[in-house]
Each structure stands twice: as structure tokens, then as C-alpha cells.
Amino acid sequence: MLGNRPWKMAVGATAIALLAAGCSGGGSEDTDATSKSIVIGIGEPQHLIPSNTTETSGAAVLASLFYPLIDFDEKSQPVEVGAESVTSDDNKVWTVKLKPGFTFSNGEPVVSDNFIDAWNYGAYGPNAQGASYFYERIEGYADLQSVDPDGEDGPKKAPEPKAKTLTGLKKVDDSTFTVTLSTPFAGWKSVMGYTAFLPLPKAAFSAPGTIAEGFEDAMVGNGPFKMKGKWEHDSQIVVEKVADFKGTAPKIDGVTWKIYQDQKAEYADLTAGNVDVQTTIPIESLAAAPGDLGDRFQKSPSSSFAFVGFPTFQKEFAKKEVRQALSMAVNRQEMTDQIFLGSQTPATSFVSPAVAGYRENTCGDNCKYDPAKAKQLYDANGGPKKIQVTYNADGGHKAWVDAMCNQINKSLGIECTGVGEPKFADLLTKVEKKEPVGLIRLGWVMDYPLMENYLGPLYGTGGSSNYYGYSNPAFDNLVKEGSAAPTTDAAIAKWQAAEDILADDMPVIPLRFGQNVFGHSEKVKNVHVDIFTKVDLYKIEINS
């Protein structure tokens, strides 16, 4: 998942695998020291419809509003949460049984149709949902996609898809449904832990397959909190505890998700006690944070991966040799030491150490700092004399992007400039439209703990977060073969072969593997930020 906080990219994404001085808008009603509600800083979400939420700020809010079928334990193994059971005899047909008694915050019971309707909406091509890719394995997905109508006569209106619903989704009864995949996939249970597989109530739809106007600003979920009022864009989203929630009950009464355009302003609010958790301490504050916060300055494992993507559809970056040269012009170790004070690790692979199948230095010489070789290769292949790296200014990336550009300028004798886009959501919108933004600062936080999640969404043809237009049929085939493999070891072997193709093609410049570097106020305790960069809302408590 794309990240828009600094460290899924990933906001994670990470986002995600993406920071807050323009300051947010008005404060919460529940920020006084005696309240059992807390304040957590985020960036402005791009979307809140689950099938369209592919960055970490939106995902954080949804984690408070929804109770997923599947979550993950401390060993990243899938465990049933909203599901009573998820089973399969052949890894192709999966049966999902729901736990009884759950309702949405508007009182609607949670039933099979809520999942089927939400997933069908997300998979239907004309709805243009950002996470539509994640339904691709379900039988019938191809029939829900429009064929590109552009031809020699220019753009034409896209024809309607052959179908509006997935043949692979079948209701058995109100508490049971089946998911049939087009090919077996042993990791499917983990995939269903992703945000795109949350349910939607009947109230979400004004007609079958049509989201009701205004619903996204007043989301109704099946989780431990419900929205209090509406999404106040660029200011805050306030959620309050649901009475008599049937699942695990949080120890806090609510959360104000306070939206920042600048992480430095968020940090100032953290040290002043106006923010209770900041999930990413800004680069500029890393040196001061231990003194400012004491033992409230903390670190935890993360799945984040920071990188810069090439717009491979632009001719100046079409040659892999140009991309290789730019990667060799970057001194990753110097950047992590000087800018991040060692809080992150130089990345010389495309897959995080957080997942099985990770190998060190898969990038080889292409990720080794070698300015002389980089310049020779760059000049020989006609690399552009000027480049820009666009980043989201609300993610605190200016310092390291400028440092990277200085390294590139020195190594290659060209002009590299960092350009800030005010909000991550705006940056994503521009790259989705293929507007000329140069190289793209991105990050990733895993959606589910499989090596494939660092490959298919980011580099697969049509991948949900493949914003740079990379396409290699051999890579696509290896990812698919891995997904269809009968054992985990066989799958990893295929996925590693796919990663080897990336190491040659270099569609992105791997930069850093991160860890969560976060802080909290004196008001709270038991603060945990998980491997997905989310605050664990079930563990956090108010100090007595």
C-alpha cells in the first residue's frame, strides 16, 4: 500500500509501503487531558471507499471504522477476525463463514451480501477503483473490465464490460459465501486481510452498483468506531466508540484523525501535547526527538520500502541503461547515515526483509554507488540533461530528495531538481493521469505478508500501484506462476526469478527499507505501531 507519511512511499505504503507546517484545520472537541479520546496525525486521505483506498492515511482511518475478515498475528500469519472461518480444500474454492451478531454502526446486520456487493463494485472496471487489481484472481474478473477502445481513429467511448458481477462470488446463506479463484492460490487467506476486502452496508448504495452521494464523507463501517459528523477535508476525521461492539473492544473512546500538510507542524503539536501519536517523526526532528520525548520516542519493525519510480512511458527514461546509471549515481549509505541518522537501511533489493523470500543485494551492481561508471553509462545512452523528482510535501521528503538530487548532479553532471506537490493525494492524481512530473517519489507498505505483494501491485502490467507504466510479460508470467504454485517454497522460487528481472530492468530506484520511528504524548501508553505502520487501536490506553 502506498505510503504518504515519511519514514507504503507507502504513505506505504506504503504504501504504501509519504509528513505535516501548513498545519491542519480546527482541533478536535475531545483533546483535553481528561478525555478518553486521542489524537493521531495523518495526511489527507485520497479516498475512503475501501476498494479505492490504496494509501496508508486512508487505510488508517478505515482500520478504526471496520472489522476485517482477516488480520495478522505478530508472526504475520493470517488469523480470523470478522470471519468465523476461511477454508479451502483445493486453494481455488474458498468458503467464508462470518461470525454471528455483528452489525454496521447504522444497525444493519453484517451479512454475506455486504462483502459480495462491495467486491463486485470494486472489481467493475467503469468504477475505476484504485484497488480493483486485488480482485483479479477471482473468477470472472476479466468480464468486468472494459476493452481499451482507442485505435487509429482516435479515442472512442469504451464499451460496457460483459458482466457487472463476479462469477466467483456466490452467496450460500446470510453468514456464508464462497470465493472461487480462476487458478489456485495458497496465499488467498492473507490477501483477504487487505483493505479492499472490507464490506459495505446497504446504505452505501443508492442503486445496485452505485455508491450513494455523500457516503464517502460519512462512512458507515462494521468496526469498533463510527464517524462523528463528516470527513472535514484537510482538517480532521473524528470517530467515536461503538456501544456494545461484538468484537475486541478498544480501551479508548474515540480518535481524532488530525490531518496535516507538514510533519514538522505535527511534531510541534506532539511535543506540545496536542497530538497523542505521530507515526513518523520528521527527518528534521530525528536528532532532537530522544531529548524531546524521552522514552516516548520509539521504534518498531516496519515493512516499508522507499523508492523512486521512472516514468518508463517517457522516451528519456525508456532505456534501462539510463535508469541503471541513475541508480548507480545515488549513495544510499550516505543518505541513510546523514539524513535519516541510521534509522533506515539502504535498500539493494526490491522486496522487504519483512517477508519470506527476501534476499540481500538482488540489485547487484545497479544499486552500488559508482559515479564513474554511472556517468559513462548515462552519457553513452543519451540520458537527459535535466530531470526532476516530484514528491509530496506533506510527507517530509524534501531533505532527502534534495540530497539525492545533489548526489545525482555531482555524479552525472546534470541538473536534478526536487519538486514538491502539496499533498500525496494530489501527486497520485497527477501520476494516474500521466501528467509530466518526472521521477516519482513513492513508498510501499505491504498489504499482506507475501513476497508477491511487493511485485504484482508495483510492477505488474496494470498493477494497482504501477504508476510508472512498467510492463514486462516475462515478469508478469513469473508472478502468476508463483501465485499458482502448490507450495510456498515453489511460489517463492518463481517470485525470486521475477525479482531478478526487475534488477536488470530497473523500473525504480530502490532506496531504503524503513522501520517505524514514532512518538507519543504523555497522555497515552501501550502504543504500538505495527508492521503495516498502523497504530494498534486495540492496545493503546489512556494513562491513569
The enclosing domain of 374 has a CATH number of 3.10.105.10
Examine the domain organization and report whether 346 and 488 are in the same domain.
yes
- Taking Cα atoms as reference points, which of 347, 330, 341 lies closest to residue 409? 330
Query: Would the pTM count as exceeding 0.75?
Result: yes
* Domain end position, chosen among 195, 212, 229: 212
CB 240 within 8 A of CB 37: yes
Does the residue 348 lie in any domain?
A: yes
Alpha-carbon distance of 342 to 26, in angstroms, equals 35
383 Cβ neighbours under 8 A, 6+ residues apart: 316, 322, 325, 326, 412, 414
CA atoms within 13 A of residue 87's CA, in its CB half-sphere = 6
Per DSSP, 288 falls in state T
Does the residue 269 lie in any domain?
A: no
310: helix, strand or coil: coil
Domain that residue 181 falls in: 68-212
Per the structure, the count of domains in the chain is 2
Residue written as cell 468465523? 84
pLDDT in tens, the chain (544 residues): 665 543 333 333 233 222 222 233 333 344 455 689 999 999 999 999 999 998 889 999 999 999 999 999 888 889 999 999 999 999 999 999 999 999 999 999 999 999 999 999 999 999 999 899 899 999 999 999 986 544 444 445 667 899 999 999 999 999 999 999 999 998 899 999 999 999 999 999 999 999 999 999 999 999 999 999 999 999 999 999 999 999 999 999 999 999 998 899 999 999 999 999 999 999 889 999 999 999 999 999 999 999 999 988 788 999 999 999 999 999 999 999 999 998 899 999 999 998 999 999 999 999 999 999 999 999 999 999 999 999 988 778 999 999 999 999 999 999 999 998 887 778 878 877 877 788 989 999 888 889 999 999 999 998 878 888 899 999 999 999 998 888 889 999 999 999 999 999 999 999 999 999 999 999 999 999 999 899 999 999 999 8
* Domain end position, chosen among 212, 247, 262: 212
Does the residue 293 lie in any domain?
A: no
Examine the domain organization and report whether 361 and 500 are in the same domain.
yes
Examine the domain organization and report whether 82 and 207 are in the same domain.
yes
Per the structure block, which three cell numbers stand in for 472? 514486462
* The amino acid at 449: P
Does the residue 49 lie in any domain?
A: no
- Taking Cα atoms as reference points, which of 478, 529, 530, 480 lies closest to residue 503? 478
Examine the domain organization and report whether 464 and 334 are in the same domain.
yes
Q: Give the model's pLDDT for residue 15.
A: 31
Examine the domain organization and report whether 191 and 334 are in the same domain.
no
Q: What is the CATH number of the domain that holds 147?
A: 3.90.76.10
Examine the domain organization and report whether 203 and 320 are in the same domain.
no
364 alpha-carbon distance from chain centroid: 26
Q: Give the model's pLDDT for residue 158.
A: 64
Does the residue 258 lie in any domain?
A: no
Residue written as cell 520509539? 298
Examine the domain organization and report whether 309 and 171 are in the same domain.
no
Q: What percent of the chain has pLDDT over 90?
A: 76
Does the residue 383 lie in any domain?
A: yes
Alpha-carbon distance of 398 to 46, in angstroms, equals 21
Alpha-carbon distance of 4 to 437, in angstroms, equals 17
